């Protein structure tokens, strides 16, 4: 279970997202839509400093110190991987690189899946993961995915 309790976040658009609360439960798909959805997803991984409020995973608060350990419970699928600016040789990390991470070699079950703007064809896979009891959190504006989700959080500007 991943919980956001009354959090405020700075966003890429120069605005501050305030008083956001949600509970993403095991075995359910939670969709986040709206302008700063990716920022919320990044905050759940500890990449964005929360101005106020608490993010917790199974009751354990997500802090700078605990973030590395808590991220070991997560699988993250970004929308796309691309270099910032022009890059002479582009070598994105592969699935093998991820599989070789120490956290993945331990064989520990990853309870939380974070997916950034998946294509609508991925719906079946997301439903399958939720059926396996995983906490599936998706950032999307795709109406098909939003319709199929168990919970939808719409961020307001």
Please say which residue, 41 or 148, places its beta carbon nearer to another protein: 41
Distance of closest approach, residue 92 Cβ to another protein, in angstroms: 6
Rounded least distance, CB 62 to another protein, Å: 13
Binding residues for another protein (CB under 8 A):
42, 45, 47, 68, 71-76, 78, 81-85, 87, 91-93, 97-98, 101-104, 110, 114
From the list 41, 5, 24, the residue with the least C-alpha distance to 130 is 24
Torsion, Cα of 140, 114, 119, 104 (10° steps) = 170
Name the residue nearer to another protein (CB basis): 23 or 103. 103
CB contact at 8 A, 136 and 111: no
Q: Is-contact 51 6, C-beta < 8 A?
A: no
Closer residue to another protein in complex, CB, 37/42: 42
Q: What is the closest distance, in whole angstroms, from the C-beta atom of residue 68 to another protein in the complex?
A: 6
Give Rg (Cα) of the chain: 16
């Amino acid at each position: 279970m991943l919980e956001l309790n009354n959090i405020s976040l700075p966003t890429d658009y120069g605005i501050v997202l305030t008083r956001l609360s949600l509970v993403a439960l095991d075995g359910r798909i939670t969709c986040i839509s709206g302008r700063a959805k990716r920022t919320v997803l990044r905050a759940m991984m500890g990449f964005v400093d929360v101005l106020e409020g608490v993010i917790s995973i199974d009751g354990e608060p997500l802090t700078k110190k605990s973030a590395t350990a808590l991220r070991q419970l997560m699988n993250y699928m970004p929308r796309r991987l691309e270099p910032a600016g022009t890059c002479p040789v582009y070598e994105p990390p592969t699935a093998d690189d991820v599989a070789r991470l120490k956290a993945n070699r331990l064989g520990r079950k990853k309870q939380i899946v974070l997916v950034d703007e998946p294509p609508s064809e991925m719906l079946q896979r997301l439903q399958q993961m939720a059926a396996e009891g995983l906490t599936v959190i998706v950032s999307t504006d795709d109406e098909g995915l939003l319709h199929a989700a168990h919970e939808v959080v719409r961020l307001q500007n």
